[in-house]
Amino acid sequence: MAIIVPIKGLRYNQEKIKNLADVITPPYDVIDDKAQDDYYTRHPYNIIRLEYGKIFPEDNEENSRYTRAAADFARWQKAGVLLPEKMPAVYYYEQEFTVNERKKVRSGFTCGVKLEPYEKGVVLPHEETMPKHKADRLALMKACRANFSPIFALYIDRENAAIGALRQAIKKTAPDVNCTGENRETHRLWTITEAAVISQVQKIMTDKRIFIADGHHRYETALNYKNERDACKNRTPAGTNTEPAYHYVMMTLVNLYDAGLVILPAHRLVKNITGLNKDRLLAELKETFIIEKFPLAPDHGNFQDFLHSLATAAPAAPIRSHVLGLYTSRGELYRLTLRNNNPPAKLMPRDKSPAWQNLDVSVLQTLILEKYLGIDCARRAAADQISYTREEEGSLKAVDRGEFQMAFFLNPTRVEEVIDVAANGEKMPQKSTYFHPKLITGLVINKL
C-alpha cells in the first residue's frame, strides 16, 4: 500500500554549525512565544526562522513570516549553511530520552511517503484538525516549497524487518549526526544511500498502512499543496515522466512495536464558561459518574498519587473502566468513574464505532465538555474555552491563579486504541495523544 522513496535532503553543514543543538527545535505547534524568542536568540541560523518565524505589526503580503522564511532559506543554501545530499537517501534515526526515570530509545526512519487521500486507506489520520493551522502551514509551504519538519507516523511490522534492514546497513558506521539537545535527549542520524538497502525497505513497506501519529495539519496541508500545484499547467518539465517531489511528504516512520514508543496524556484546561456553577456541575455529573473526592495536600505533594490512582483504576479491556480527574480550584480534586450501568455504547454517538466510543477522551468530550459545559465543535475550533497541556501540577496552579476554571486529567491513550480508531476510518477528538518525545525539526529538510 504505502509507497516510500529516498529523498535528497538538505542538512546543516556541520563545518559551519559546530553544535547542532543550537539550531534544532521541537515542532512548531509546541513552541510558545517565549520559546520562540529563545530560539531566535540562540543562533542566527536556528530552524525556527524557517519553520515558525515571528509576526510583526507592520507585516504585509510583501514582507511576512513566510516571505522572510523563503528569503532566509535561499540565503542559507547559497551560503553553504544548508547542504544537499549527493544522492537520495533514507535516514535511520534514533532518539534517546528518559521518561518516568527510565531511559528509552525510539527508532525510526525518515523518507518521502507518497501523498494519498485518506479515503484510499493507505495513510490514515487519528485526530481532528483545525482550519487556521492548515492555512498557516500552506502559506509557508507555498513560499518555501519545502518540508522543514517530518510528520511522525506509525506502521505495523511485527518482525521489525524494515528497521532490521536499516540497522544492518549502518552497524559498522558512526552516525552522521550525534547531538544532545533539550531535556537531555540525544539524536543520532545515519544517511543510507545504498540502493539495495533502500529497495529492500521499500518492498517491506508495500503492504503496510501508515497511521499519522503527529502532524495531521502538515499532512493535510501537503495534500492541499499537491492538489493546487497539480491544477496548474506544466506541472512537470516537458518530455519527462518524473513524478514531482511534491507528490511526497517527508515522514519519520516508527514501528508500532518499537520499544521506545511512548504516549503521554494531553490534559484539558477549561475557561470562559459563562454562569458556571461547579457544585451544580458535580451534582449533574453524579447521574453518569461515581464521584470521589481526593484529599489533595496543600502543597500538592500527593498529586502524583492521585494520577497513579487514575491509571490503576482503569484496567485494560475487556473490563475497561473510564476514569477521569477533575480539579475545580482550592484543593477540590475529584476522581470521576463512569458508572457500570452507563456503558459508552448507550451514551455515545450512535454513528461512532465501539473503538471511538470507548476512548477516555471521547467520554470526556461527549459526556462532560459538550453535554454540560457546551464546548461543542465550533467552540473547540475557536479555541477560546479549552486548552490542551502536558502540565500536571502546573494545571492545578493555573486553575488556582484564576487563569482557568477547571482542569480535567486523563490517562494516556493506548497505541492499540489509536490504530483501532484510525483503521475504522475515524478521527479521535483533537489532542487525544501526546507522543513523547516530539520529533526534532531541523535534522533533515525536504525540498519540493
Alpha helices per DSSP H over 65-215: 65-78, 131-144, 161-170, 195-205
Range 183-204 average pLDDT: 97
The cell numbers describing 287, all together, are 447521574
Q: How far apart (Å, rounded) are the C-alpha atoms in residues 147 and 56?
A: 24
In this prediction, residue 315 carries a pLDDT of 61
Q: How far apart (Å, rounded) are the C-alpha atoms in residues 51 and 149?
A: 8
What length is written for the chain? 448
pLDDT tens, position by position, 399-432? 999 999 999 999 999 988 988 998 888 888 888 8
- Is the confidence at residue 26, as pLDDT, over 80? yes
In this prediction, residue 186 carries a pLDDT of 98
Q: How far apart (Å, rounded) are the C-alpha atoms in residues 406 and 403?
A: 9
High-pLDDT (> 90) share of the chain, %:
81
CB 170 within 8 A of CB 109: no
pLDDT tens, position by position, 63-84? 999 999 999 999 999 999 999 9
Burial of 225 (0-12, 13-18, 19+ CB in 10 A): buried
Question: Taking CA 338 as the corner, what is the angle to CA 345 and CA 347, rounded to the nearest 5 degrees?
Answer: 30
* Long-range CB contact pairs, 310-317, < 8 A, 24+: 310/335, 310/409, 310/410, 310/411, 311/411, 313/337, 314/360, 314/411, 316/414, 317/358
**Residue that has been written with the C-alpha cell 498519587 in this structure:** 305
pTM over 0.85: yes
The model's confidence at residue 236, banded by pLDDT at 50, 70 and 90, is low
In this prediction, residue 318 carries a pLDDT of 45
The model's confidence at residue 233, banded by pLDDT at 50, 70 and 90, is low
- Is the confidence at residue 239, as pLDDT, over 50? no
Alpha helices per DSSP H over 326-388: 344-347, 354-357, 360-364, 377-382
Distances in Å between the Cα of 138 and the Cα atoms of 77, 142, 229, 373, 390 are 22, 6, 12, 33, 27
Q: How far apart (Å, rounded) are the C-alpha atoms in residues 190 and 109?
A: 9
In this prediction, residue 241 carries a pLDDT of 53
Q: Which residue has the higher pLDDT, 130 or 51?
A: 51
